[in-house]
Amino acid sequence: LASSVLAEKYKPDDGNNVDLVATIVNVLGIKDVVLINPNITLTDLGMDSLMGTEIKQTLEENYNIVLSAQEIRALTITKLRELSSTDSA
């Protein structure tokens, strides 16, 4: 007998209702984005390949942002904020 408990994920109701940065840091398991250096890459924040895939799918499906795996590894919180403001403009 096996069981699993799924972590609660942010789910946008319709488009960009949920902040892009909040969604991505949730995937990384970061509780308070204020406590981290916004110029550190997602890889340096502990992103592994599965998280990278989830982030890629989230960006594409929920925010219409298409990035390569290499670009996602190089993302920072600062860059995510820039993408978020560009996407909502």
Domain-located, residue 62: yes
**Whole domain around residue 44: which residue ranges?**
20-86
Per the domain annotation, does 48 fall within a domain? yes
Query: Contact 20/88 with Cβ under 8 angstroms?
Result: no
Q: pLDDT value at position 11? A: 47
Q: Is residue 12 part of a domain?
A: no
Position 9 in a domain:
no
Number of structural domains the chain divides into? 1
Residue 11 included in any domain: no
In a domain, 61, yes or no: yes
pTM score over 0.95: no
**Alpha-helix residue ranges (DSSP H) falling in 1-89:** 20-28, 49-63, 69-73, 77-88
Supply the CATH number for residue 32's domain. Answer: 1.10.1200.10
Cβ atoms 61, 20 nearer than 8 A: no
> Does residue 14 carry a pLDDT above 50?
no
